[in-house]
Amino acid sequence: MTKGLFIILLAGLVAACAPRGQIDHVPRAVAGAADLRRVFVATNRNLAPEGDLELVRQAFGAARSQELRYGWADISIPPTHEEGEIEWPGRASPDPARHFVTRDGAPYAGKRQFLDGLTSASQPGRKDVVLFVHGFNVRNAEAVYRVAQVAHDFDAKIPIVLYSWASAGRVRGYVYDRDSVMFSRDGLAQVLRDLASEGWRVTLVAHSMGAQLTMEALRQASIAGDEASLKALRGVALISPDIDEDVFVQQALKIKPFPEPFLVLVSKMDSALSVSAWLTGKPWRLGSIQDKTRLAGLPIRIVDLSDFRGGDRRKHITALTAPEAIKVLYRMERELARQR
C-alpha cells in the first residue's frame, strides 16, 4: 500500500459529503508557523469502496473488521488556528496557511512497527502515551483531525494514539454505533494490552459513546485478570459520556484495580445527550447527570462544564472545543502530572 493511498484511506469519507470533514493531502504543507502534529492510529474500520468512487478512493469507513490496522498521519495546523476549532477547507481549496491539512502518512506493516513508531516519537527514556477513543457519529477523518487539534491546543509533549472504532458516521446510525461499541471492545482491550506489555503508561481519554466502549474494555480486562493493562493507566477521563449511570456504576464496581485519577466531565447543557436520554426513556445520561449522589462512593472526580461558554453548539464536546474549558483542563492536567 502506498503512502498516497493510505492518506486517502484515512479519510473515511466521500466527496459528496461536503458538510462533513475529510482528509486533504497537501504533501508540501510545511510552512513556517504551522504546527505539525503526528497522529498514530489503531483501527478496526474495514476498507471498502465508498459510493461510485474509483477503487483507488477506498476509505476507512463504517464496516467492521476483525483485524486491527495501524498507521500514522502528520497533520498541519495553520498559524491562524483558533483554540477548539478544526479549520476545514469546506468547498475551498485546502490552504495550509488557513486550514488543517495532512502533510504525510503511511500504514504500518503490523503491530510491531506501530509500537516502534511510538518509541521513535517519544523523548528518550519516557514511555507515556495518550489513547483517545472517539464517540458516536464520527468519521475517521474527523477523529484524526480532532486528535491533532487536541494535541496542539493542549500542547501535548507525548504521542497520542487514536483508537478509531467502526462508527457509522451518520446520525441515523445510533443503534449501529451501539452495536459497534460491543464489537470494538476486544480491539481496544488489545491495544491496551500491547501498550502495557511494552511498558507504556497510558492516559485514556474517551468521548461520548466512546466512553461506553472504554468502560466495557476496562471491565473486560478486569474480569480476564489483566491487571497489567489496568495498572498501566496513569489516568482516565470520560468526556460527555453517553452511558446510563446505573450501567456505569455496575461497570465501575467490576474494575479492579480502579484507575486513578478518574475524571468524568459532565454538562447539563449537553443537547446531544438530551436526545440520547430521550431515546432511552430516562431523564439524563452520565454525561448530563444532575443527581450526582447516584455516583457517591466511586473513586471518581466529576468536572461540571455546564457554565463554560463557547465551543460546539450542542455543548457535547465543550472540554475540547471551548477555549475557557481548554485552559482550565490544561492547568488541571499539568497539576495531576506533577502529582504522579
Q: What is the pLDDT of residues 119-147, one digit of tens each?
A: 999 999 899 999 999 999 999 889 999 99
How many percent of the chain have pLDDT more than 70? 86
The yes-or-no verdict on residue 14 having pLDDT over 70 is no
Q: Is the pLDDT of residue 45 over 50?
A: yes
Categorize the per-residue pLDDT at 16 as very low, low, confident or very high, splitting at 50, 70 and 90.
Answer: very low
Check: CB of residue 221 under 8 Å from CB of residue 189: yes
Instruction: List the domain boundaries for the chain.
Output: 1-122+135-145, 170-340
pLDDT greater at residue 238 or residue 170: 238
- The β-bridge relationship of strands 201-207 and 262-266 is unpaired
By mean pLDDT, which of 18-32, 96-110, 220-234, 279-293 is the weakest? 18-32
pLDDT confidence of residue 32:
63
Least trusted range by pLDDT, from 90-94, 212-216, 223-227: 90-94
Q: According to the model, what pLDDT value does residue 33 have?
A: 66
pLDDT at 295 over 50: yes
**What pTM did the predictor assign?**
0.90
* Lookup result for grid cell 459528496: 16
All residues at 6 or more sequence positions from 101 whose CB lies less than 8 Å from its CB, including other chains: 24, 25, 26, 29, 75, 76, 89, 94, 95
Of 59-63, 290-294, 296-300, 307-311, the range with the lowest mean pLDDT is: 59-63
pLDDT at res. 340: 64
What CATH number belongs to 170-340?
A: 3.40.50.1820
262-266 and 301-304 strand pairing: parallel
In the structure, what pLDDT confidence band is assigned to residue 26 with cuts at 50, 70 and 90?
A: confident
Nine cell digits for residue 151: 494535541
Ordered alpha helix ranges (H), 129-270 = 140-153, 174-197, 209-223, 227-231, 245-254
Q: Please classify residue 328 by burial: count the beta carbons closer than 10 Å to its beta carbon, then call 0-12 exposed, 13-18 middle and 19+ buried.
A: middle
Q: Per mean pLDDT, which range of 43-52, 105-114, 145-154, 202-211 is the poorest?
A: 43-52
Q: Output the pLDDT for position 23.
A: 76
Asked if residue 21 has pLDDT above 80, the reply is no
Any residues with CB less than 8 A from the CB of 18 and at least 6 apart, and which? 90, 91
> Quick one: cell of 119?
518509541
- What are the residues whose beta carbons fall under 8 Å from the beta carbon of 192, sequence distance 6 or more? 131, 202, 204, 217, 221, 229, 232
Residue 162's pLDDT is: 96
Alpha-helical segments (H) within the chain: 3-11, 111-120, 140-153, 174-197, 209-223, 227-231, 245-254, 271-280, 318-321, 323-339
User: Is there a cis peptide before residue 261, judged by omega within 30 degrees of 0?
Assistant: yes
Distance CA 94, CA 278 (A): 39
The number of residues in the chain equals 340
Strand partners, 279: none
**What pLDDT, in 10s, does the model give residues 49-77?**
543 322 223 356 677 889 999 999 999 99
Mean predicted lDDT score pLDDT of the chain: 87
> Higher model confidence: residue 272 or residue 34?
272
- What one-letter code names the amino acid at 75? I
Q: What is the mean pLDDT of residues 268-272?
A: 95
Cα–Cα distance measured from residue 161 to residue 100, given in angstroms and rounded to the nearest whole number: 18
